[in-house]
């Protein structure tokens, strides 16, 4: 396996994107998700879009991240709006010409037939290496715990602190970061917020929402719907973690 970036191999963009999504396509339907388009990554952050290739040169994993400034005068702590606000910070810094010093990982996606084989670990290591190579000082992640899909109604504050008998975090994705030395900073309760009509949610998930809380495929929290007002709102918590350099 070898890892390249989008800057050197823009021809791999479509194939890398076809590896799948984190949770489901609805994650990219929010305002922040719409900001990280493939075209913007090509134009602004191509060095931070990493692609793993097998021995035949076929993409088998991708890792997306954005550089940003943290801490700063207007940023004293990692935001409660997690993934959403990190993307906004990166866009603001780009528009303002502010030099970044931190890399924020947005997603790691592995080809379906290789999931569970540990491929996410070298992708995270590659992100850390890329941060160091480009003069950045830290790697932060708004971690979306994988196992939380099975318990969408459990508060993240309770779920994220569970540990196994060996002392490691119970959730396998949180544990992957922990094994690489990352430490939990805090829960970000509004990491991803997405709203849409009842028809929108049906298009995104295949679920016809009913009044109240609805469990959706790929969701780690329920969608709260009001059919009369034709609105469904999804708010998921994540866990901020920082990897040491």
Q: 245, 141 in Cβ contact below 8 A? A: no
CATH number assigned to the domain with residue range 2-189, chosen from the 4 options 3.40.630.30, 3.10.20.30, 3.40.50.150, 2.40.340.10: 3.40.630.30
Q: Collapsing DSSP states into helix, strand and coil, what is residue 181?
A: coil
Parse the chain into domains and list their residue ranges. 2-189
**DSSP assignment letter at 155:** -
Nearest-angstrom CA–CA distance, 141 and 175:
13
**DSSP assignment letter at 220:** S
* pLDDT score of 245 more than 90: no
pLDDT tens column, 188-244: 999 999 999 999 999 999 999 999 999 999 999 999 999 999 999 999 999 999 998
Residue 90 CA from chain centroid, whole number: 14
Nearest-angstrom CA–CA distance, 98 and 231:
37
pLDDT tens column, 208-219: 999 999 999 999
pLDDT tens column, 154-194: 999 999 999 999 999 999 999 999 999 999 999 999 999 99
Confidence of residue 22 (pLDDT cuts 50, 70, 90): confident
Q: 209, 198 in Cβ contact below 8 A? A: yes
Mean pLDDT confidence for 76-87: 98
> Alpha helices of the chain — where are they, by DSSP H?
13-17, 31-35, 38-44, 82-96, 120-133, 156-159, 172-179, 198-205
* pLDDT score of 54 more than 90: yes
pTM, to two decimals: 0.96
């Amino acid at each position: 396996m070898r890892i390249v970036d989008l800057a050197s191999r823009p021809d791999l963009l479509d194939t890398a994107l076809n590896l799948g999504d984190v949770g489901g396509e609805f994650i990219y339907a929010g305002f922040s998700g719409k900001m990280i388009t493939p075209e913007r990554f090509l134009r602004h952050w191509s060095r931070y879009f990493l692609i793993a290739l097998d021995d035949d040169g076929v993409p088998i994993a991708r890792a997306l991240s954005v550089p940003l400034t943290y801490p700063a005068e207007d940023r004293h702590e990692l935001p409660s709006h997690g993934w959403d606000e990190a993307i906004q910070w990166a866009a603001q810094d780009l528009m303002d010409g502010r030099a970044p010093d931190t890399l924020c990982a947005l997603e790691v996606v592995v080809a379906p037939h290789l999931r569970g084989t540990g491929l996410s670990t070298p992708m995270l290591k590659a992100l850390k290496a890329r941060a160091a190579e480009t003069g950045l000082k830290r790697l932060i992640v708004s971690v979306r715990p994988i196992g939380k899909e099975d318990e969408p109604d459990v508060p993240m504050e309770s779920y994220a602190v569970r540990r196994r008998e060996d002392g490691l975090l119970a959730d396998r994705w949180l544990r992957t970061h922990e094994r690489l030395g990352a430490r939990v900073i805090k829960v970000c309760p509004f990491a991803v917020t997405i709203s849409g009509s009842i028809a929108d949610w049906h298009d995104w998930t295949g679920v016809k929402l009913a009044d109240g809380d609805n469990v959706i495929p790929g969701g780690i929290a329920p969608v709260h719907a009001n059919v009369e007002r034709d609105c469904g709102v999804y708010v998921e918590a994540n866990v901020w973690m920082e990897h040491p350099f």
